[in-house]
Amino acid sequence: MGIFSKKDNREFARVDREYMVSYAPKKSSSSNNSLTKNISANGVLIEAKEPLPLNSILYLTLNLPRYGEVILEGQVVWCKKQEDKYHAGIGFFNIDKENQDLILKALSEKH
């Protein structure tokens, strides 16, 4: 199976990659730094120190090596406790084609 094999009937397959990401709730001036656990062109799984409220809106800055920062908006679709951290699934919305293409390009590179 290649990295772009689809499962779970997703529009884009998820790829296990760790990228630096900062995120902030829509109405907050402070941000948190974290790592992605997996990512696709329309969503990301991140680690968080605290639970993220379901359906909350986040601003994300994703650092893609060789491509720079990608600024995104996302909505928390799920959040689960994992040992001493939380894993949160974030769905991107209002993502433009340029940012989506950058993510796909970064994911297509050998890691």
The Cα 45–Cα 48 span in angstroms is 10
Instruction: Assess whether pLDDT exceeds 50 at residue 6.
Output: no
Helix, strand, coil share (%) of the chain residues, nearest 5: 10, 50, 40
Q: What is the pLDDT of residues 36-80, one digit of tens each?
A: 999 999 999 999 999 999 999 999 999 999 999 999 999 999 999
DSSP 8-state class, residue 9: T
What is the value of pTM for the model shown? 0.85
pLDDT band of residue 4 (cuts 50, 70, 90) is: very low
93, 77 Cβ separation under 8 angstroms = no
Half-sphere exposure of 83 (CA within 13 A, CB side): 1
SS (H, E, C) 57-110: EEEEEEEECCCEEEEEEEEEEEEEEECCEEEEEEEEECCCHHHHHHHHHHHHCC
